[in-house]
Amino acid sequence: MTSLPHKKLRVFSGIQPSGAFTLGNYLGAIRQWVAGLDEKENFFCIVDLHTITVPQEPQDLLRRTREMAAILIACGLDPQKCTLFIQSHVRAHAEGCWILNCVTPVGWLERMTQYKLKSQQQESISTGLLDYPVLQAADILLYDTNEVPVGEDQKQHVELARDIAQRFNNLYGETFVIPEPIIPKLGARVKALDDPATKMSKSKAYIRGHAIRLADGPDEIRYAIKRAVTDPGREIVFSDAPEKAGVNNLLEIYELLTGYTREAIEAHFAGKGYGHLKQEVAGVVIEALRPIRERYLSFIADPVELDRLLAVGAERARAVADPKIQEIKRKVGFIV
Ligand code: TYM
């Protein structure tokens, strides 16, 4: 028996409660999540099981998980309009991961770019780090997800989820919807301010000048943008040239937050210097983050209410994931 078809397009995405939430997360993912709230059926998950694939201080993880919930709500993920929940509250994710492990060749996992990168940074590599994308596939597939809005760095993982779904469907019969990664045209890969050849990263956000963090006040934002790496040239133009990556990144941030056209932006900055560009970008970022930060501070001040909202979210998620995991177990021949 397959799950009942659902009418609205179903969306699932996740974010790790690791490091500090950055402008990259906001522009690459969360803005898209918020934009789809009214017309789609949305599940957003704070993926704590994924986060422990690299060592975490338990007290930090606990704090950051609540902070992430407060940030997401502050960004506009109204818990009345979407299902916002914590991954470990819904057991089907871990169970689903195990069953999907058994149809996933280990070679598929060893090829994952993020695994290769992250495993280089660890002294001892956990089995969980290798298995990370299978858990991500379970997250997505349990909800009969149509669309997975993510930044560019997660595309490979969503494609793997498609492969795993297809393989399971071939082995056990039609069970999973094949999900589509939805990558924004703009903002899919916001670059690090201190190294525009790399992405702005939550896990490196503790390095001063690397990222713009939601928690940053105006002074810190101005500092980070003022120090942003640019090139020795003078031209303020959108460009794919590697040496212009720093200026291009600042311009894209400006474009995303103002909504102005590229022509208008280039005309606006024509003849001006990088110092001027940085000042204006900082001003736009400060104004965009100010209301989010203010709302965040009010939500984080009430952890009891946050936990209540997350408990409601978990219940709604279980209402979808639990029947699906039963279906999966039945398909593989378990007594359910
Ligand atoms: P995470 O926590 O690293 O990032 C959350 C989202 O932010 C996007 N992102 C960026 N977008 C643009 N520019 C950047 N510099 C940037 N940095 C991060 C990410 O692409 C992501 O969309 N494995 C996932 C979490 C996950 C998940 C899932 C996602 C677990 N299960 C199921 C989708 C579906 C991750 O670590 O995201």
pLDDT greater than 80 at residue 41? yes
Say what percent of the chain tops pLDDT 70. 98
Least confident of 104-113, 118-127, 308-317: 118-127
Could you tell me which residues are beta bridge partners of residue 191? 199
User: Residue 1 pLDDT > 70, yes or no?
Assistant: no
> Does residue 4 have a pLDDT over 60?
no
Q: Are residues 28 and 92 in the same domain?
A: yes
Confidence of residue 300 (pLDDT cuts 50, 70, 90): very high
Residues 6 or more apart in contact with residue 127 via CB below 8 angstroms: none
Each residue of 216-267: pLDDT tens digit? Answer: 999 999 999 999 999 999 999 999 999 999 999 999 999 999 999 999 999 9
Q: Same domain for 104 and 236? A: no
Quick check: 2 pLDDT over 80? no
Q: Which domain CATH number covers 258?
A: 1.10.240.10
Is 81 in the active site?
no
Same domain for 159 and 182, yes or no, is yes
Q: Note whether 141 and 44 are same-domain residues.
A: yes
Q: Which domain holds residue 123?
A: 10-188+303-332
The per-residue pLDDT for range 140-188, each reduced to its tens digit, is: 999 999 999 999 999 999 999 999 999 999 999 999 999 999 999 999 9
pTM strictly above 0.85: yes
Q: Which of 11, 18, 25 to mutate for ligand 1's pocket (most ligand atoms within 8 Å of CB)?
A: 25
Are 156 and 85 members of one domain? Answer: yes
Tell me: pLDDT of 19 over 90. no
Q: Which of 61, 75, 154 to mutate to test the pocket of ligand 1 (most atoms within 8 A of CB)?
A: 154
* CATH label of the domain that carries residue 165: 3.40.50.620
Residues 177 and 238 in one domain: no
Cβ–Cβ < 8 Å for 35, 275: no
Looking at residue 203, its pLDDT comes to 87
- Nearest Cα residue to atom 14 of ligand 1: 24
State the Cα–Cα distance between residues 186 and 212, nearest whole angstrom. Answer: 18
Total of domains in the chain: 2
Q: Indicate whether 4 belongs to any domain.
A: no
